[in-house]
Structure 1
Amino acid sequence: MASERQHRLAIVEFGRLLHGNGFVAATDGNLSVRLDENRLLVTPTYMSKGRMKPSDLVIVDLDGNRLEGKRNVSSEIGMHLLIYRLRPDVQGIVHAHPPTATGFAASGLDLNQPLVCEVVVGLGEIPLARYGTPGTPELARALEPLIPTHDALLMANHGVVTYGSTLENAYMKMETVEHFAHIALVAHLLGRAQPLGEKEVEKLWAVRHSYNSAGKCTPDTLVRRR
């Protein structure tokens, strides 16, 4: 099991990757890890994710109350608390605004079509949650129906949230979402998008299941997106 210091270093590292890859700008985005059954380690508000130090991070309880740290916790803490509550398997969460995927979200488009086999295996589908004002219960209500069955969500006119068994796993899912958004955009611009067929999706779903992927969307939902 990783120590608190290791978790702090990991959040700083993946925050720098988010910023360096252009997935966040200015003070956008937030990350968190589950330290234990009662505490979370979260990024602070109003701070560039590319310039954080381990000491800048904040420890909160499962009600979002600050337990340790000098800075104020991210305004999106409610979203993190909801995901950890609904998904006991989740140990790390990443929220960012990767440009292409966020462009889909701002256009009212999901990323559910089974266009790339690796994405079907790794994420299943990437649905679009309706708009909710950031940092409010309205956003939590918009996300709540989708969290138990998916590992990555587009948020209308907002961005992307991914979560997984580790912070690294959650970050890799964010990279996958943005990479797939690029591919989907090119396929649609070419006007020749060719979604995978039902049998192919079922085979990939079997592979996904064998990898013990956390999300529980079914192959039927993917086939219906063709």
Structure 2
Amino acid sequence: MDIQQQLINAGQYLKANQLAWGTSGNLSARLDDHHALITASGTYMANLKEDDFVTFNLQTGTYEGTRKASKETPFHTGIYRVRQDAKAILHSSPFYTTLFACSSETIISELFIETMYYLEDIAYVDYYHPGTQELGDAIAEKANEANIIMMKNHGVVVFDDSISEALMRIETLEMACRMILKAKECGIKLNLIPQEVVTSFLEDSKYKPRKKKGENFQR
């Protein structure tokens, strides 16, 4: 399956699983060292077609084709420039994740297997207007620290070495946010996995190879 079709399927999956809505969000995938494919401006995640994508140059920031690239191209470009391992980027505003992005609530990763792995590191950036270079620069700066970047009062951007792993990351994030909120609503105290067990899981369990951070990241 080619990259474009994978992105089309990803958009449908995000909408079908309430991880995206309307035109809120954008997707991209690296094509080679110099180019990436990104959704065009104003596209609907659930109804992406072949002509809803634009090829853009990671060095110059320019794009090819008659459609206008997503206004969030600056932060897609920034991530690809600083993280050579990034092959796919998803930006969306899932309900529970965005609720947390609009609050000071902490997202806990020591809950279950998938949260330990996919939510090990989460970075945050302050609110900047969508599509601005300021937002792009802020996200690029945080991209060495984590594969999940919460955009305050906006949503989230996730990236990984494949589209499927990026989808798993955003879905795990939304489930964790929902679980934390539901526990608070019901007065249920969540029992966290001890940090030494988390470390053992990440380093020794062989669940999956632990994802590397950017070359400038210091744990």
* Match in the other structure for 1:224: none
* Match in the other structure for 1:212: 210
Secondary structure of 1:93's match? strand
Structure 1, unaligned stretches of length 5 or more? 222-226
1:208 is displaced (CA, Å) by: 7.7
Moved over 4 A (4+): 207-210
The one of 89, 103, 110 aligned to 1:107 = 103
Query: 1: CA distance between counterparts of 2:197 and 2:107?
Result: 18
Structure 2, unaligned stretches of length 5 or more? none
Q: Could you tell me whether the CA contact under 8 Å between 1:109 and 1:128 is conserved in 2?
A: no
Query: 2: CA distance between counterparts of 1:65 and 1:108?
Result: 37
| 1:77-88 map, 5 Å | 77-88=73-84
Query: 1: CA distance between counterparts of 2:190 and 2:145?
Result: 26
Aligned length: 213
CA RMSD of aligned residues (A): 2.2
1:143 is displaced (CA, Å) by: 2.2
The one of 47, 51, 62 aligned to 2:47 = 51
Moved more, 92-101 or 143-152: 143-152
- What's the TM-score, normalizing by structure 1? 0.85
* Match in the other structure for 1:117: 113
Moved more, 143-152 or 176-185: 143-152
* Match in the other structure for 1:144: 140
1:17 is displaced (CA, Å) by: 1.2
* Match in the other structure for 1:169: 165
Identity across the alignment (%): 28
1:201 is displaced (CA, Å) by: 2.1
Query: 2: CA distance between counterparts of 1:169 and 1:198?
Result: 24
Letter of the aligned partner of 1:131 in structure 2?
A: Y
- The alpha-carbon distance between structure 1 residues 50 and 208, as it changes in their structure 2 partners (threshold 3 A), is farther
Q: Could you tell me whether the CA contact under 8 Å between 2:109 and 2:119 is conserved in 1?
A: no
Moved more, 121-130 or 174-183: 121-130
